[in-house]
């Protein structure tokens, strides 16, 4: 499977999903300028629908990014 690479140069499924989802929403925004493109009817752009679609995917991406940061920088043991 082809994944985009994250900032560290590693293939990342969460980054790929976020990138593709952002592209879909952007395409929907631009396509909604027109009511019809030939025989295809385009739904109006609704920001709340777009955010309902993007929120779980962005949460996945940022959650994974935070996990990776925590794994690479472990916290030192507490001093007594």
- pLDDT tens digits for range 1-26: 689 998 788 898 888 999 999 999 99
For residue 16, give every residue at least 6 positions away whose Cβ sits within 8 Å of its Cβ, in sequence order, or none. 3, 4
- Measured from the Cβ of residue 68, the count of other Cβ atoms closer than 10 Å reads 16
| Separation between Cα atoms, residue 8 and residue 80, nearest integer Å | 36
Per-residue pLDDT at 78 exceeds 80: no
pTM across the whole model: 0.73
- pLDDT at position 36 over 80: yes
Contact in structure between 18 and 58 (CB atoms under 8 Å): yes
Band (80; pLDDT cuts 50, 70, 90): low
pLDDT digits (tens, 9 = 90+) for 51-65: 999 999 999 988 988
């Amino acid at each position: 499977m082809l994944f985009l690479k994250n900032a560290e140069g590693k293939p990342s499924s969460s980054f790929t999903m976020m990138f593709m989802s952002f592209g879909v929403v952007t395409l929907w925004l631009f396509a909604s300028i027109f009511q019809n493109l030939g025989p295809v009817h385009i739904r109006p752009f609704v920001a709340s629908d777009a955010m309902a679609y993007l929120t779980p995917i962005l949460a996945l991406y940022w959650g994974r990014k935070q996990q990776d940061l925590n794994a690479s920088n472990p916290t030192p043991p507490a001093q007594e």
